[in-house]
């Protein structure tokens, strides 16, 4: 298992604040910060009721990774953003740092140019918070091996 | 990569089911999805071809037990088993926390099992990881087929690294062994997490920073609610 990042209440609030500002300025519906493995760090806004944010994050991470690899195969080393244009909802995915991406869902009330513009600022802000998380103290005292005793089945059926 | 979220009181892990084509990786996830309680699972997403062959990955988010007030969540992925999709297998392995290697027990699949196992090691190495550092288990699937190798032969063939791991027999189509495997890999990850937490506390104690650091991390004055282990 790789070193485990810890999202404290303070850093979680900073990430959320960055997303709140971003959505307000860009007029997008929904924004999500995830790592490139598909794990969600923070989210803000609304998606249709049918959308599962876990699924959105997994698909976004896969999509971004696949496109980046495709770019590398055709000789392009830079692949920092991806744009999916729909008829009413659009998705913009961009790189925050080497390990994290920002996913934005927006509609007709805004434009991809505005989303891109504010994404650029927001990703810098988020990157600073993520650096803070990386520099933070290690995990400690959450639970011990004894707390797992007695639980034969970990999943409710 | 797993993450601890003190704000949402969640710990998340990523588990990848790996193995040769048509060994039963997707079947494992489909069975799990059919059995887990509605409130503890998300949608099973399968990016597959028209012939139901996994093209990119299958994905299933699950909630597991609550420990010390923290919800434990597992994201299960499968990789495409066909040889041509190696590039996409590498992408799915990104930030993996635990692996279930599913082997096809049939005699004529042994070479594919070995190639896939070696492929797993090669793909992990590309990301600076190895099976020495990642918790993993073996599942010998399709035990119901007529021409299967004995388990001890599969153990000899695949579970022969310096560190032998737990293995499980399975018939994923009926569910036999599926939850045993899932519970085992989940416990392995949680135990490893608990061990790393204890080591971290020991280090912090030696440096005299334990209590203040933990309080700062949680941001709460009182300790979390008692654990509720749901069965």
Q: Are B105 and B27 in contact (CB under 8 A)?
A: no
Contact residues, chain A, for B79 at CB < 8 Å:
none
Confidence class of residue B101 from pLDDT cuts 50, 70 and 90? very high
Query: In this model, does residue A46 exceed pLDDT 60?
Result: yes
State whether residue B189 sits within 8 Å of chain A by CB: yes
Query: In this model, does residue B211 exceed pLDDT 60?
Result: no
Give the pLDDT score at B229: 26
Query: In this model, does residue B132 exceed pLDDT 80?
Result: yes
Over range B78-101, report the average pLDDT: 91
Task: Please give the angle made by the CA atoms of A45, A47 and A50, to the nearest 5 degrees.
Answer: 150
Residues 6+ positions from B230 with CB-CB distance below 8 Å: A156, B65, B66
Contact residues, chain B, for A5 at CB < 8 Å:
1, 3-4
Confidence class of residue A47 from pLDDT cuts 50, 70 and 90? confident
Query: In this model, does residue A145 exceed pLDDT 50?
Result: yes
* CB contact residues (below 8 A), chain B span 70-109, against chain A: 70, 72, 75, 77, 87-88, 91-92, 94-98
Give the pLDDT score at A3: 54
Over range B93-120, report the average pLDDT: 96
Over range B178-197, report the average pLDDT: 89
Q: Is pLDDT larger for residue A143 or for residue A56?
A: A56
Per DSSP bridges, beta strands A40-45 and A81-84 are: unpaired
Give CA–CA dist A129/A88, Å, rounded: 32
Give the pLDDT score at B193: 82
Report the residue from A136, A147, A157 with minimal CB separation from B35: A157
Of all residues in chain B, the percent with pLDDT exceeding 90 is 59
Of the candidate ranges A92-101, B105-114, B198-207, the one whose mean pLDDT is the lowest? B198-207
Distance from CA of A5 to the nearest CA of B (A): 5
Mean of per-residue pLDDT scores for chain B: 85
Q: Is pLDDT larger for residue B170 or for residue A76?
A: B170
CA end-to-end span of chain A:
27
Note the pLDDT tens digit of each residue in A71-92: 988 998 888 899 999 999 999 9
Give the pLDDT score at B81: 86
Confidence class of residue B220 from pLDDT cuts 50, 70 and 90? very low
Mean of per-residue pLDDT scores for chain A: 87
* A41·B3 Cβ contact <8 A: yes
Whether the predicted interface score ipTM is above 0.90: no
* B179·A153 Cβ contact <8 A: yes
Give CA–CA dist A27/A7, Å, rounded: 27
CATH number for A9-148 (one of 3.40.50.2300, 3.30.450.30, 3.40.50.620, 2.60.120.580): it is: 3.30.450.30
Q: Is pLDDT larger for residue A7 or for residue A117?
A: A117
Question: How many inter-chain contacts (A to B, CB under 8 Å) are there?
Answer: 203
Q: What are the structural domains of chain B?
A: 3-194 (3.40.50.300)
Over range A59-78, report the average pLDDT: 89
Contact residues, chain A, for B40 at CB < 8 Å:
155-156
Query: In this model, does residue B227 exceed pLDDT 50?
Result: no
Confidence class of residue A14 from pLDDT cuts 50, 70 and 90? very high
Domain boundaries, chain A: 9-148
Give the pLDDT score at B110: 97
* CB contact residues (below 8 A), chain B span 167-186, against chain A: 179, 182-183, 186
Q: Provide the strand spans (E) within A4-154.
A: 6-7, 30-35, 40-45, 81-84, 90-95, 100-106
Report the residue from B64, B129, B229 with minimal CB separation from A150: B229
């Amino acid at each position: 298992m790789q070193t485990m990042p810890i999202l404290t209440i303070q850093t979680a609030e900073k990430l959320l604040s960055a997303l709140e500002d971003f959505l307000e300025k860009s007029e997008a519906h929904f924004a999500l910060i995830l790592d490139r493995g598909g794990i969600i760090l923070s989210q803000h806004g609304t998606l249709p009721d049918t959308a599962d944010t876990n699924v959105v994050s997994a698909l976004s991470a896969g999509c971004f990774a696949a496109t980046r690899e495709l770019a590398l195969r055709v000789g392009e080393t830079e692949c920092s953003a991806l744009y999916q244009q729909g008829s009413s909802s659009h998705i913009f995915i961009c790189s925050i740092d080497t390990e994290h991406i920002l996913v934005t869902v927006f509609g007709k009330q805004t434009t991809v140019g505005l989303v891109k513009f504010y994404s650029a600022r927001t990703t810098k802000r988020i990157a600073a918070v993520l650096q803070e998380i990386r520099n933070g103290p290690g995990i400690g005292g959450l639970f011990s091996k004894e707390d797992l005793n007695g639980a034969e089945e970990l999943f409710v059926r | 990569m797993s993450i601890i979220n003190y704000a949402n009181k969640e710990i998340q892990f990523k588990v990848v089911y790996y193995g040769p084509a048509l060994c039963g990786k997707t079947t494992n996830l489909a069975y799990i999805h059919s059995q887990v309680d509605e409130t503890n699972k998300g949608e099973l997403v399968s990016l597959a071809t028209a012939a139901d062959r996994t093209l990119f990955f299958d994905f299933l988010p699950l909630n597991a037990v609550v420990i010390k007030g923290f919800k434990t969540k597992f994201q299960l992925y499968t990789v495409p088993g066909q040889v041509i999709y190696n590039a996409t297998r590498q992408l799915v392995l990104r930030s993996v926390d635990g692996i279930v290697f599913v082997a096809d027990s049939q005699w004529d699949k042994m070479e594919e099992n070995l190639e896939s196992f070696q492929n797993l090691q090669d793909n992990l190495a590309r990301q600076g990881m190895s099976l020495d550092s990642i918790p993993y288990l073996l599942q010998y699937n399709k035990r119901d087929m007529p021409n299967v190798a004995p388990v001890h032969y599969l153990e000899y063939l695949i579970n022969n690294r310096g560190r032998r791991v737990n293995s499980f027999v399975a018939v994923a189509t009926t569910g036999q062994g599926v939850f045993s495997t899932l519970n085992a890999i989940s416990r392995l990850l949680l135990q490893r997490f608990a061990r790393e937490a204890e080591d971290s506390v020991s280090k912090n104690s030696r440096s005299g920073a334990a209590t203040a650091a933990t309080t700062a991390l949680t941001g709460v004055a009182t300790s979390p609610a008692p654990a509720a282990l749901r069965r």
